Amino acid sequence: MKQQKNIKKKINIMPALVIILLMIMVAGSIFLYITNQETKKKGNNKISLEKVYQDKKFVFDDLEIIVSSKYNFLNTEKVKKQYDGKDIIEIPVQVKNVENTEHKFSISYVKIYNEKGEEIRELGSLFKDKSFENSPKLGKGEMTIKNVYIPYNGNGKYKMIFKTFYEEKEMEIVIKK
């Protein structure tokens, strides 16, 4: 029995270390959260809007894009039947993949506004073979030329906004009939 008394009790410090470590992690998380909220208040997390221009290359979503300034007006029988006889503007767009993997241009990343600033629908579904509705996947360095189709509402400055979660580009297009 004397031997049992002489044996020192071993103190297990593992639970204490785990608790201290958890407290440090919680404090660090709170600090990072507060810092992130302050950054948002200052507006540092905003996507900067970049102006881009017709007939000039720009990179968007890892694709090199050139929007032509040479547009056409369409008013065929097909258009008259499917879109109330209004003219449609056909704008050629060249897209080249500069990424190492297959990639394609998604027209859903583009919002278009007429001369009054109203958002208008891209009408590529009327011209599937020539539009980005049926855009092919492009390998590295491959290129395609398709068209963007928008309703003509009158002369003036139309806008195309290219936007993802990470970038935003704005292009003004002056349309005259």
Does the pTM of the predicted model rise above 0.85?
no
Q: List the one residue out of 94, 93, 95, 102 whose CA is nearest residue 140.
A: 102
Residue 66 near residue 56, CB atoms below 8 Å: yes
Token representation of residue 107: 């027209």
Residue pLDDT, tens place only, 2-20: 555 555 566 688 888 889 9
Confidence of residue 42 (pLDDT cuts 50, 70, 90): low
Position with higher pLDDT, 130 vs 18 = 18
Confidence of residue 38 (pLDDT cuts 50, 70, 90): low
